[in-house]
Structure 1
Amino acid sequence: MKDKILVLNDNPQEQNIIKNVLGEYEILVAQSYDKALEFLKKYSNIKLVFVDISSRHLNGFKLLSDMYQYPGPQSIILAETTDIENVKEGMKLGALSYMFRPLDGDALKSVMEVHIEKIDEYGFKIFNPRRAFDAVFDTAPIGIAMTLGKCPFVDINYKFLRTNSKFEQITGRKKEELLSLGWKDIITPEDFDEEVENCLKIHSGNCTIEKRIRKTDGSLAWVKMFVVSISNVFSSIPSHICFVQDITAEKMIEYNLIESERSKEVLLTHLPGLAFRCLNDENWTMLFVSNGSYELTGYYPESLLNNRDLSYNDLIAPEYRDRLRNEWDRCIKNHETFKHEYEIITAKGERKWVIEMGQPIYNDQGEPEALEGIVLDITDRKSVELNLRYYFEHDRWTHLKNRNVLEKHLYEDYMKGETVKRAVVGVNLGAMYFITLSHGFHYTQEYVRNIARALESLCTDNITLYNTYEYRFVFYIKGYKDKDEIALFCEKIKSTLDSVLGVERIGGGIGVVEIDKDNEYNVDLILRNLLIASERAVNGKPTEFEYCFFDVEMEVQMNREKDIQNDLNKIATTNRNDDNLFLLYQPIIDLSSNKIYGFEALSRLNTKKYGVVPPLEFINIAEKTRLIIPIGVKIIRKAFGFLKKLENMGYGNVNISINISAIQLIYSDFAQVVMNIIDEMEISPDNITFEITESVYVANYDKVNEIIGQLRLIGIHIAIDDFGKGYSSLAAELGLQANCLKIDKFFIDSIMTTDPDKAITSDIISMAHKLGHYVIAEGVEHELQKKYLVNCGCEKVQGFLFSKPVNKDEAISLLMEMGTV
């Protein structure tokens, strides 16, 4: 069935153009709002709606307003070229684009190809930053070109990366041709004298350049380019974005102003915008004002002449008045032409961006007797520039300045030779990842917005907040007294975050880097060290924040972590059975028979550089980098493989216990992955125990309990590991679907130093039994401890009293020696 296109239009000629050009679609023509609405209700496969807003009886605006009830089709406005304000209003109501009359078949086909492709690809159902950028980029009323290279004009390797249709129109070249060219190929050779100076301007930030370009047909066009240097955090190669305006008409105006004094007033009267002749006084007293004054300012020429109702200075937005005066004074002194952009306030109180171009008129004594020029409306072009710049400099969700701006401010202060004490304080909220897994992306982003607002309350004239990365914020502090003042500020951050994050029970780290002569010149180093400090401050406790000042020892530790991470990454991305990741097995003894009940599988990592790395260290790194998910699967497979080997040897009732990370457990398909491996290896789930720590379920109780329930249904045992070490409550214990409780070694050690009648270990065992759990005591090293546990009714134990963790062969030998339950 063909996709449909709906046309709200009463012009038969235009209807025929649309039908002829878009023959592959079924065209539905409605000559009234009611008929259009009837089609929208009837057909679900309408892809696009053309809405004529010029004929009032068609009620085009009402249809645009009501189309939100039908989220499938997008709309394109049909309008007269004089309907600019109506087009703007229609775009506000959700129109995808617009076309001006007379309707051209080729243009219609091009617009359809662009927008249908985007509708098919994105659907436009949710906001997407890339799509928003594409929409602004492709439909901007000025030319835009993106480039890659140190300098967009003299770098011989420079090419255009991307151009919009307006840029193609201005240059007179097609996109395919432009993408094989660079500015050096289309700018006239005469304009290359200033290129070195222009590149210096670009490297210092942004610059505005005027050039002549040669079109394919040999004609020349003047363009004005606003060039922005774009920072790229993923590449060391610089890039630029150029906003291009065809100013050929303005250049012709300037030429005519110079070459034709006698016909000046006639020419100025018919020019677009406001042409003027004024005195060089404090009010810019107008001696001549063209008829374009009313369209631009809302005031008739007579109102401005000789300051009858108001002066031109009254129209200029107050913050630009001194700047404009200073620029005119400079041009008069140097006998230069004038060009400046600023805002005016119209009769309706609206702000408009304008560009003023002119020159001083001197008398025989060389003194300025008047100023002549023209003022043009550039609001649309300026709006696009400002919107694009905002996206480059701000985080979309929090609207805080981003890393690009922070780097710029740090570098600028270094170049200015700031003498006050400066520091950066980073807030690491990486644990927000768990909230995303539990509640979804949009919930987390709203939460991040609340955090940003709370942190902003700590800002002052000397403290600025930036959102540098996902779940990371940075305060830039200037003019503080000493380290104690920074520490006090970190305490304020902790207090603020506790008040916001208390409900979700997550924590994080706060890092501090003080800026001094050893690091102030290297912004990348400052921010890298800040990341190291904030990562080091993450203490592993789920609901706490700590702060940490950077020092060189942290860098050594960070390099060690990077090396370990690289080893883990190799293990995670290879399918071979890598011996660098191996398991040891510690027997779990049944106290009623003194035989082996099962083994706890304990993972170990062997590295070439550091040898065997403690599990607490490499597991923590794996969790922070999310490598624990693929590595955890490898550990499960290795443990299940040992279990299968035992079953094949006739030990069909030996249990294997595996530690499971929080990230693994709440991963979307963890339970299904486990079930698939069990089916693949043909082992009994009754012989499997997963151990989870209390910290796993404290912050994700409902989600964890749901997954535990799925595992219990297939027969897998669930043990709460290190009980008493964390934050759990009896209420949480009672509701958790666990089989077993493993008592932390702390309570076992206390048996040796505490009066048996006063030790609470027996109370923990009794409580666990009342909750329906069997108990395993960890870290048993003495006969006295074993005897106490037997008397308290503890079912199982493990520890060095019986065996240290051993390899597979030694574990099998223990089985043969001690027997199984």
Structure 2
Amino acid sequence: MKRIRMLVNTVLAVIIIFFLSPAYAGHTPVKFEVDKSYPPFSYTSGGRIYGFTIDLANLVFEPDKFKLALSSDTWNQVYKKLVEGKIDVAAPVAIVEERKKEVYFSKPIFTRHVGLYTSKEFSKNITLKNLEDFKVGVMQSDYTETLLKEKLGVNRYYTYPTIEDLIYALVDGKIDAALMSQEIANYFLVKNGLRDRAELKIKNIFTVKSAFAVSKKRPELVAYINQRLNFLTNKGIFDELYYNYFSTYSPEYYERKNRQIVISSLYLLLIILFAASVAIFVMTRINRRLEHGKQAYEKYAQLLAENANAIVLTLNLNGEIIYFNKFAQELTGYKSEEVVGKKWVDIFIPPHRREYIENLFKRIAEEKILNNHENEIVTKDGDIKWILWNNTLIESPYLNEPMIISTGLDITQIKTTQQLLQQSYKKIERTNQELLNTLEILNRQSKALEEEKEKYKFLIENGSDCIWEIDFKEKNIEFYGRLKDLFDIKAVKSKNDFSAWLDFFHPDDRSTVFKKLQDAILLHEENLEFEARIRDKNGNWHWMSAHVQIFYNEEGKPEKIIAVNIDWTAKKEYEQKIEYIAYYDALTSLPNRKLFEEVLEDFIKKAEEEKAQGAVILIDIDNFKDINDLYGHEAGDEYLKAVCQKVLEYLKSLNLNTFFARVGGDEFAVVLHGLAKKEEVIEVCTHLLNIFESEIYIEKLERDLFASASMGISFYPDDGRSVKEIFRNVDMALSSAKENGKNDFQIFLPFMLTKNLKKIEIEKGLKKAIETDQFELYYQPVINLKDMEIHSVEALLRWISPEKGMISPLEFIPVAEESGLIVKIGEMVIEKAFSDLKEWEKKGIDYLHMAINLSARQFKTKFFENMVQKLIERYSIDPKKISFEITETGAVENFDVSLKILSFLCQMGIKFLIDDFGTGYSSLIYLKRLPIGGVKIDRSFISELEVSKENKAIVEGIILMAHKIDLKVVAEGVETKRQLEILKEVGCDLAQGYLFSKPLPKAEVEKLLIARKITV
């Protein structure tokens, strides 16, 4: 029960943290990290961080504005994290120029002095000039390392991660000297009792200011820190904190503490004795003067003053020193001849107090006596001494002028003691307040414990866990918690058998649970965890996570088992859902690429073991993007689900081991395992093509959609013995099917590897050609057959490679199409053609029309029409002078998309020609519906025009049909005069070919354009 109580307490703690955590939600977090061993600035003890820097940071960052996250590490790690932005602030950090490039600094918070320390036993002559001859150590990544290397020129030295490691290395004789901060070193030596083992050999070599260092990612913190430091300084809070740390463990601390009481008592007694002596001295002087005369008095007064254990001065009313006794000389360090005749304030009074002392002399002149006055003086060495003064003005006929006699007692030690006492009082007040706070916390905790007991009782009875307590000795089972009501506990208890609780578990889990318990008991283990299914009263199964504690008696035998059971049914369902998301496509519910690759790997291994064969079919839906663009993604998704269902139904009907998956947006893959012969794949692919070609009704659109598919085939293990190889091969086969016109399938053949490598090389060259503008436009004139004048030019792309010369378009255009580079290249062609046309217009060639070839992929690119419109506006081109040539297959494919684009551009005035007419797949009905301006008869019909009656009839028929629907006709590939004559006879409108001119560079074709008339 004790362990159950601990568990419940832990749960409650988590709940409390959960509900309290929003209280910090509005605070800005600040990650503050310090050196874990850098006392008294920072050090760790009992898992907590202490020190001056920690206390100062808590004062700087106001808790109602910032949530301070404290941490510690070695100094080099702290600074590295600060530079990388992993923490926000670190301190104290020495302000070094090279660090200003990496972090921001606040205003300096104090100055550190750097000195050279050696062990007490070290007797060699070490100076700053011969440091290279000795083993010198510094803290790793500390500012002292930078000073040693850059300022003192020492390149061979030893580094230590903490100040503690460095000092112990010094006193243990591992190094000869250590360059350290005097403040840190002195503190550590005193605190750890090492003053008699190390000493400061050379002090104050450098002075370095230290500050808060702020990450470059949090510049806003610098101004805030500076503002808070100013506030703390002005209020005296910073000074109080500083004295608390750096006066407590100074080297003279313990000696002063012992002398304070004695010194305080002695000085109080001395004041009384001295006052009495002065009174006796004055009375004696008067009596002696009356009785023995002036000479006897002066001798006595001088003797008394010289041997007094106090300062005795005589000054005139201007403050000039007349007499300066022996004690005053010893205390201040000045000899009498150095000060007599000079003004007191100029030598001994700090500048900021001089005006005040000058006014004090005036008060003495008016009031005659001014006693018990305290002020500080500066000695010859620059030390500050506090003096208690008694001042008397003497006026006598024996004196040439009035004279001030001042006696002063050194009360420096008393003032120091007062300061220490004041600090002690403040510490006591703070300690008392802390005790009161602690008492309040204890009272609250005591109250909270009572509440915890009640909560514990409530959780046991009403919590969501079900707790089982099995007593082996009594053979008794007890159940606690709300979930116990779900189970038939009475049935178990009525059996009076401690093992009857196993009946709760699923039959598949009972043996596992029993074995885990048995093994734990045999190994004498106390803790055990397992997951299993448990049946409730209604016969439903719940996944439970059991955390078991086994208790043993003195003989080592199990005495009791307590098991806390958590209902993980929802968690298990969530895990199954996550697993489904990881391995299945959300839209089609098909396996995804990850699962497909795992299954394929198993199939390949099985094929090798069984000497069997299988095939992978990679399917790509042709132009599926156009369906999404035209009808929307919802319609596209509905189409995918419908076509996938048809494919699944077909594959299930096969007498093969099949696996179907979605491996990309519009890509699918099929595994056919256990093929009797490879020819079976041909039959499957043919049927799959028919499925994709068939019309599918889309309810959202209330119409049918159809598409086509391209497929690649690769056999395993013949074509490859790994998933990577098979996918590479099947992908190349798919590319080949697309190159052959799509709506087809292709089996992988070895030559495709070589072809693919060449294709990769061409694609790489094309990318470079685009970057370095290796493309050039050639132009071929198009002739009006009525007047034999140039009507237009066709822009033809040429790739001029610096390494290979001119590369044929037949070689690089297919690669550009497949890779998608044709879109960028096509845009360059259009812009160059528009630019040249505008240039020719400026030269007076304003009759000319420009024909530009478009690829199907370029034509269907998103925003194609917007790009054309912008270029027309940029070059101020008349759209009526532009015609785009597109193949009939490209125009009819995805007819609705083509119609939309063509209609938009035609409204601007741009014409469209069907290129290579008669060679592609088209329907005259579709062509009639498209806004086409003309057709170009393919050269294959023109080349045999003279000898083939069939070709002549076809050409004549095309021209007649085109004219009937108001289309212009262009014949391409005209090379003989007889071909020209026949074309004129049958009424052809325009022609182009080598009979008139081959394609020419811009400069050469320009000459023909100026002449315009063509003679053959």
TM-score (norm 1): 0.60
Q: Which residue of 2 aligns with 1:482?
A: 677
Distance in 2, Cα, partners of 1:619 & 1:501: 34
Distance in 2, Cα, partners of 1:760 & 1:518: 46
Secondary structure at the counterpart of residue 715 of structure 2: strand
Q: Does 1:107 align with 2:22?
A: yes
- Residues 664 and 415 of structure 1: is their aligned pair in 2 closer, same or farther, counting only changes over 3 Å? closer
Counterpart pick for 2:710 among 497, 506, 509:
509
| Contact 2:604 2:716 (C-alpha < 8 Å) held by counterparts | no
Q: Does 1:787 align with 2:975?
A: no
Secondary structure at the counterpart of residue 592 of structure 1: coil
The Cα of 1:636 is off from its aligned counterpart by 0.2
> How far does the alpha carbon of each residue in 1:455-502 deviate from its partner, in whole angstroms, 9 at most, with x for none?
322445721122222211122333222312233332232232223679
Q: Which residue of 1 aligns with 2:991?
A: 797
Secondary structure at the counterpart of residue 433 of structure 1: helix
The Cα of 1:308 is off from its aligned counterpart by 10
Counterpart pick for 2:468 among 275, 289, 296:
275
Q: Which residue of 1 aligns with 2:885?
A: 691
Q: Which residue of 2 aligns with 1:492?
A: 687
| Contact 2:488 2:537 (C-alpha < 8 Å) held by counterparts | no
Distance in 1, Cα, partners of 2:484 & 2:760: 61
Distance in 2, Cα, partners of 1:463 & 1:511: 17
Identity %: 28
Q: Which residue of 2 aligns with 1:599?
A: 793
Secondary structure at the counterpart of residue 1000 of structure 2: coil
Distance in 2, Cα, partners of 1:400 & 1:509: 20
The Cα of 1:325 is off from its aligned counterpart by 6.8
- Residues 600 and 492 of structure 1: is their aligned pair in 2 closer, same or farther, counting only changes over 3 Å? same
> Residues 745-784 of structure 1: matches in 2 within 5 Å?
745-755=939-949, 759-784=953-978
Q: Which residue of 1 aligns with 2:571?
A: 381
Q: Which residue of 1 aligns with 2:483?
A: 295
> Residues 73-112 of structure 1: matches in 2 within 5 Å?
104=19, 106-107=21-22, 110=25
The Cα of 1:608 is off from its aligned counterpart by 6.0
Q: Which residue of 1 aligns with 2:383?
A: none
| Contact 1:403 1:467 (C-alpha < 8 Å) held by counterparts | yes
Distance in 2, Cα, partners of 1:111 & 1:393: 41
The Cα of 1:453 is off from its aligned counterpart by 2.4
The Cα of 1:771 is off from its aligned counterpart by 0.7
| Contact 1:269 1:290 (C-alpha < 8 Å) held by counterparts | no
Q: Which residue of 2 aligns with 1:450?
A: 642
| Contact 1:751 1:759 (C-alpha < 8 Å) held by counterparts | no
Secondary structure at the counterpart of residue 290 of structure 1: strand
Q: Does 1:465 align with 2:660?
A: yes
> How far does the alpha carbon of each residue in 1:790-812 deviate from its partner, in whole angstroms, 9 at most, with x for none?
11111011123323322222322
| Contact 1:437 1:666 (C-alpha < 8 Å) held by counterparts | no
Q: Does 1:809 align with 2:1003?
A: yes
| Contact 1:506 1:699 (C-alpha < 8 Å) held by counterparts | no
Distance in 2, Cα, partners of 1:388 & 1:659: 50
Q: Which residue of 2 aligns with 1:732?
A: 926
> Residues 602-621 of structure 1: matches in 2 within 5 Å?
602-607=796-801, 612-621=806-815
The Cα of 1:659 is off from its aligned counterpart by 1.1
Distance in 2, Cα, partners of 1:112 & 1:463: 59
> How far does the alpha carbon of each residue in 1:240-286 deviate from its partner, in whole angstroms, 9 at most, with x for none?
xxxxxxxxxxxxxxxxxxxxxxxxxxx9999932526599xxxxxx9
The Cα of 1:723 is off from its aligned counterpart by 1.8
| Contact 1:302 1:308 (C-alpha < 8 Å) held by counterparts | no
Secondary structure at the counterpart of residue 486 of structure 1: helix
Distance in 1, Cα, partners of 2:726 & 2:979: 52
Uncovered stretches (5+) of structure 2, i.e. residues with no partner: 1-13, 29-69, 72-80, 88-459, 698-703
The Cα of 1:322 is off from its aligned counterpart by 6.8
Distance in 2, Cα, partners of 1:516 & 1:756: 51
The Cα of 1:820 is off from its aligned counterpart by 7.3
Q: Which residue of 2 aligns with 1:425?
A: 617
| Contact 2:466 2:565 (C-alpha < 8 Å) held by counterparts | yes
- Residues 308 and 638 of structure 1: is their aligned pair in 2 closer, same or farther, counting only changes over 3 Å? farther
Distance in 1, Cα, partners of 2:682 & 2:26: 58
The Cα of 1:739 is off from its aligned counterpart by 1.4
Which is further off, 368-377 or 591-600?
A: 368-377
Distance in 2, Cα, partners of 1:103 & 1:715: 69
Distance in 2, Cα, partners of 1:325 & 1:517: 49
Q: Does 1:533 align with 2:733?
A: yes
> How far does the alpha carbon of each residue in 1:103-125 deviate from its partner, in whole angstroms, 9 at most, with x for none?
95752774999xxxxxxxxxxxx
> Residues 333-412 of structure 1: matches in 2 within 5 Å?
339-348=529-538, 350-357=540-547, 373=563, 375-412=565-602
> Residues 227-266 of structure 1: matches in 2 within 5 Å?
none
| Contact 2:777 2:798 (C-alpha < 8 Å) held by counterparts | yes
- Residues 808 and 497 of structure 1: is their aligned pair in 2 closer, same or farther, counting only changes over 3 Å? same
Q: Does 1:640 align with 2:834?
A: yes
The Cα of 1:721 is off from its aligned counterpart by 1.5
Counterpart pick for 2:759 among 561, 573, 579:
561
The Cα of 1:583 is off from its aligned counterpart by 1.9
Distance in 2, Cα, partners of 1:732 & 1:491: 27
- Residues 429 and 817 of structure 1: is their aligned pair in 2 closer, same or farther, counting only changes over 3 Å? same
The Cα of 1:765 is off from its aligned counterpart by 0.7
- Residues 325 and 482 of structure 1: is their aligned pair in 2 closer, same or farther, counting only changes over 3 Å? farther
Distance in 1, Cα, partners of 2:555 & 2:604: 48
| Contact 1:275 1:289 (C-alpha < 8 Å) held by counterparts | yes
| Contact 2:783 2:789 (C-alpha < 8 Å) held by counterparts | yes
- Residues 511 and 338 of structure 1: is their aligned pair in 2 closer, same or farther, counting only changes over 3 Å? farther
- Residues 681 and 555 of structure 1: is their aligned pair in 2 closer, same or farther, counting only changes over 3 Å? same
- Residues 300 and 342 of structure 1: is their aligned pair in 2 closer, same or farther, counting only changes over 3 Å? closer
> How far does the alpha carbon of each residue in 1:733-760 deviate from its partner, in whole angstroms, 9 at most, with x for none?
2221121111223333453443269712
| Contact 2:714 2:729 (C-alpha < 8 Å) held by counterparts | yes
Which is further off, 764-773 or 308-317?
A: 308-317
Distance in 2, Cα, partners of 1:456 & 1:347: 41
- Residues 269 and 593 of structure 1: is their aligned pair in 2 closer, same or farther, counting only changes over 3 Å? closer
| Contact 2:945 2:951 (C-alpha < 8 Å) held by counterparts | no
> How far does the alpha carbon of each residue in 1:566-614 deviate from its partner, in whole angstroms, 9 at most, with x for none?
2333455x4x6x1x22222222111111222111111233446765444
- Residues 820 and 679 of structure 1: is their aligned pair in 2 closer, same or farther, counting only changes over 3 Å? farther
Distance in 2, Cα, partners of 1:738 & 1:359: 85
Q: Which residue of 1 aligns with 2:748?
A: 550
- Residues 569 and 374 of structure 1: is their aligned pair in 2 closer, same or farther, counting only changes over 3 Å? same
| Contact 1:601 1:656 (C-alpha < 8 Å) held by counterparts | yes
- Matching residue's letter, 2:733: A
Distance in 2, Cα, partners of 1:406 & 1:549: 20
Which is further off, 663-672 or 677-686?
A: 663-672
Secondary structure at the counterpart of residue 473 of structure 1: strand
Q: Which residue of 1 aligns with 2:493?
A: 305
- Matching residue's letter, 2:749: D
Q: Which residue of 2 aligns with 1:142?
A: none
Which is further off, 759-768 or 362-371?
A: 362-371
- Matching residue's letter, 1:533: A
Secondary structure at the counterpart of residue 480 of structure 2: coil
The Cα of 1:101 is off from its aligned counterpart by 10
Larger gyration radius, structure 1 or structure 2: 2
RMSD across aligned C-alpha pairs, in angstroms?
A: 4.5
Uncovered stretches (5+) of structure 1, i.e. residues with no partner: 1-98, 114-171, 182-266, 280-285
Secondary structure at the counterpart of residue 820 of structure 2: coil
Q: Which residue of 1 aligns with 2:865?
A: 671
The Cα of 1:773 is off from its aligned counterpart by 0.9
| Contact 1:505 1:699 (C-alpha < 8 Å) held by counterparts | no
Distance in 1, Cα, partners of 2:539 & 2:995: 86
- Residues 786 and 303 of structure 1: is their aligned pair in 2 closer, same or farther, counting only changes over 3 Å? farther
